[in-house]
Each structure stands twice: as C-alpha cells, then as structure tokens.
Structure 1
Amino acid sequence: MPCIGVLGGMGPAATVDFMAKLVALTPARRDQDHLPMVVANLPQVPDRSAAILGRGPDPLPSLQRGIDLLNHSDVGVVVIPCNSSHHWYAQLSASSQAPILHIAQACVRKVPDGGRTCVLATRGALASGFYQRELAARGIDWEIPDGEREQPLVDETIRLVKAGQPEQAGRRLQQMLAHAHGRGVEVVIMACTELPLAASHADTHGLLLIDSTLELARSTVDYALHAGWNHC
C-alpha cells in the first residue's frame, strides 16, 4: 500500500509537530485506522533561507537525496513541513516519483477574502516570493514585516524555537503580533513551521493566525483518506 512520505528535519521539532497534527486530524478509533507514513528526518540539510539569500551552501542536493529515499519507500504523496524548502518546489517535484503537496497553496486556501494579511516567514522565503504569488493569484492584498523593526522579531522567534526555547520564542512572536495588530492587520500567515510552536506561548491579540503546519497536515490527511490509505 502506498503511504505518506515526509521530507522533514527542517527543523526536527517542526516535523514532530506536523506528525502530531496529522495523527490528531485522522479519524481513527484504533491503530489500524491511522495513515501509513515514512519520515526522512534530515536535520543536516543546509540552511534554506541562507541559501536563497546567497549566504550559504545550496541545500538542493541534500533535499533531492531525501526525495530519493522516499522514492525507494513506495510513497504515494510527499509533504515537506518546511516552508523555505518550497523555493525549490519545481526541482523537487521533478525528482519525486509522487506528487508533492505545496504548503503555500494549502495555507492560502484558508485566507478569508478581504482581510488585511501579513506573511511571517524566513527572510529567504519572503525573498523567494512564493507566498506572495499565491496570495496575488487569489486577489488577496498582502504585506510583510518591516525589515528594520519587525522582521528581526520573526528571525529571533524562529531561532529560539530551533534552539529549544519555545516560551522565549513566544514572547518575541507576541511583540511581532502586537505590531501587526497595531497597524490594522487581521490575518497572519505563519509561513514558517517553527512559528506555530511559538504561537502557543503568545497572546495573539485577536488576530486570525493561519498555521502552515496545520494546513499542510489537513491537506495531507484529505489526500490520503481520499486514496483510502487508512484501510488495510
């Protein structure tokens, strides 16, 4: 039977969060009702954001090796709970024998019409622009954090989660959300899979937060249930 292939480890805590959300979303009453999954947890993949910005080694060969592992594991769909990696979506799709679900497409489907929307992400993902393109295709006005005052708060939030300090990360994210709320933002896309781990320790200031990890998990469960992979 085909299974879900997860290209993870970027970072490890975000991958575990994705897996937990996928399990929680699966309608199951016993072990056998859950969805089969193979996880390639590869934390040594070079920094994706740094590479996009021209400040670090190219992670694509490592990502493609991860895809090759999944190609040899009879996966029927691939998911990557790392937003910045989707900068290389076309190349990874060309390497994969199974379709790859796109995290930004899953998120943008959940953005309500008319809400002032801010995208929080790594500097590399923002420079890549794939979220902005998806939002523009839907006719949704978007904005990104101010580079001098706000983006450093996003950067520090992500860094602290990766360092195993989610509570401290939550305080930085709360500062960012306060800035966004103060300038009239209504919807925030957490377009880095570390950010949801910080959000559970932050006051959201009444903003609608769209969790990229959760939306990717929802899309994955929908795909796998439609394929009938929860049945022996």
Structure 2
Amino acid sequence: MAKILPLGGDVDWPEDEGVLGVVGVAPWATIEFLRAFYALVPATKDWHFPRVITDTNTKLPSRGRYFQLGERDPSPYIAENIRELADLGATVIVLPCNTAHLLYDRWAVNAAVPVPNIVEETVALAHHEQAKLVTPFTSTSLADFDLYGAVIEKQGMACHRLSPEDQSLVSQLLEEVKVHSVVGGANLERLDRLCSKLRLSGVDTILLGCTELTSLMPRFAKHGLKVFDSNQALAGSAFRLVMGKQSQTTSHTTPSALSA
C-alpha cells in the first residue's frame, strides 16, 4: 500500500489515522455501508476522509445457501479476504453481512486486526438507547438460528420474534432489494400492516439485522417505532476504531436511531 504522509498546513490529517477494509459480499449492502461510514466523517475536503479499501467480492460462497442447502462454507474464503485486506494496509476490517456472522468465530478469530461484530454492535446500540421489546428483521438463516434473539436477551432486553408468515415477508423484502435495490409498493403496504401489528403487541424497537434493509428506516419510524440499522451500527464501530480519539468530533449526520 502506498504510504502517503500528510504535508501539513491545509493538506493534513492525523498521522495515526487508520485504514478501513471492507469485505463486501452484496453490492447494494456494501454501498449502503460505505454511505453510512462516510456520513460520520466531519470532512470538508476529500483528504479528510480516511482511506477505505473495499473488495466487493460477490463470488464468495452464499451464506444463505450454506445454511439452507449445505453448500460450501464461506468461512475460509472470508478469512482469506480479511488477510488480503490486512496485507494491503487495513487496520480495521468489517463484513457488512449479518448472516455471515453466524460463522464469525470461524473467520474472525485469527484476524490480525480488529473485526467488529455487526450483531453485537447493533444490539448494543439498542440497549444503549433503552429499548424494551425488540423485534429483529433478519434473513431466514439468522431467524432459524435466533442469533439476534440470543444476543438481545443476553443484553437484558425482551425479544419479540416474527411468525413464519411475517418472516416470509421480510425474506421477500430482502430479495427485492438484492435484485432491484428498492422495495415495491405491494410489499411496502404489507410492511405497514406488520408494523401496526407489532406496535399493538408492545414492540417499541426494530433492529434491521440485514444490510439490505437500510432504506426502510423511515417506514418504521412513521409507525412510532425506534429503528436501529445494522449497517449504521457497524459503520459507527468502524469509524471509532479507524479514527481513534478523532471519533469524538461532532458528526454532520443524523443518528442511527429514527423515531417518530
């Protein structure tokens, strides 16, 4: 990696500023993560942003197909990507994919640099904001293994799990975003009905446990639900690690949680 030191004067940045590495497994989710990360940087010039090395590697074996169909384990390939990014100079590495974190211990345990856990960061954010009854919106694989539910309850909050019918809707939302980058009107109407039902059940907080769902945050807020996005939670953790003490600088963005 080219080592470019600050010149001083106008063209300057902290000499101990880190480099972020991103293992991107889905294009739109990776773009949304980068948008969330860059939005946290109080930059007025291009060189104020930290260096980011992104490998949008859509050829990594499917996490969902591994769990649902028993196909190839993506863990060794993710671990290899992490090593490559570290060799290129990344000092912090993230994987903006919630489902892959079912295998976190396989690909992050021997990493040479910090690798924040997206599930733990998202739940911690909700806990910090005093969430009470939480519903995670996740992939089918994550729902089957109840990873979010376990971490939510470990943090002392209550978890309201989706029914199979409601989980099916979430899966359809994810597929729409993967293919079209947006959710169509029919499924948005179904989502509105689901939000109303969750509110009646006492749910106060939604966790977007899939990085394809970021664009739906205002939809939940419209129903008076707090919503915490895993992409933004991971971006916040990466920002703090990359910028160090610089992370205390005031951001020019909206916070991770939206509420009516």
TM-score by length of 1: 0.88
Encode CA deviations 1:76-110: one digit per residue, 9 max, x unaligned.
11111111111111111134211100111211122
Secondary structure of 2:183's counterpart equals helix
Pair 1:153-2:202 in alignment: no
Which runs of no fewer than 5 residues in structure 2 stay unpaired? 4-17, 248-260
Secondary structure of 1:133's counterpart equals helix
In structure 2, relative to structure 1, the CA distance for the partners of 1:48 and 1:227 (3 Å cut) is farther
Taking the aligned partners of 1:210 and 1:192, their CA distance within structure 2 comes to 11
* Equivalent position to 2:98, from 83, 88, 97: 83
Q: Is the 8 A contact 2:22 2:93 kept in 1?
A: yes
Taking the aligned partners of 1:227 and 1:170, their CA distance within structure 2 comes to 41
Secondary structure of 1:166's counterpart equals coil
Q: Is the 8 A contact 1:170 1:199 kept in 2?
A: no
Which moved further from structure 2: 161-170 or 79-88? 161-170
Q: Is the 8 A contact 2:134 2:206 kept in 1?
A: yes
Q: Which residue of 2 aligns with 1:60?
A: 75
Q: Which residue of 2 aligns with 1:220?
A: 238
Please list, as runs of the form range in 1=range in 2, the aligned pairs for 1:175-214 lying within 5 A after superposition: 175-200=193-218, 204-214=222-232
Q: Which residue of 2 aligns with 1:103?
A: 118
* AA partner of residue 175 (structure 2): R
Q: Which residue of 2 aligns with 1:133?
A: 150
Taking the aligned partners of 1:58 and 1:177, their CA distance within structure 2 comes to 35
Cα drift, residue 5 of structure 1: 0.7
Secondary structure of 1:29's counterpart equals coil
Taking the aligned partners of 1:174 and 1:70, their CA distance within structure 2 comes to 41
Please list, as runs of the form range in 1=range in 2, the aligned pairs for 1:109-124 lying within 5 A after superposition: 109-111=124-126, 112-113=129-130, 115-124=132-141
Which runs of no fewer than 5 residues in structure 1 stay unpaired? none
Cα drift, residue 45 of structure 1: 2.0
Q: Which residue of 2 aligns with 1:3?
A: 19
* AA partner of residue 125 (structure 1): L
Taking the aligned partners of 1:42 and 1:13, their CA distance within structure 2 comes to 12
Rg (Cα) greater in structure: 2
Which moved further from structure 2: 183-192 or 132-141? 132-141
In structure 2, relative to structure 1, the CA distance for the partners of 1:51 and 1:140 (3 Å cut) is same
Taking the aligned partners of 1:57 and 1:179, their CA distance within structure 2 comes to 38
Taking the aligned partners of 1:55 and 1:180, their CA distance within structure 2 comes to 33
Give identity over the alignment, percent.
23
Which moved further from structure 2: 136-145 or 193-202? 193-202
Cα drift, residue 228 of structure 1: 6.0
In structure 2, relative to structure 1, the CA distance for the partners of 1:201 and 1:184 (3 Å cut) is closer
Cα drift, residue 177 of structure 1: 2.2
Q: Is the 8 A contact 2:131 2:204 kept in 1?
A: no
In structure 2, relative to structure 1, the CA distance for the partners of 1:57 and 1:200 (3 Å cut) is farther
TM-score by length of 2: 0.79
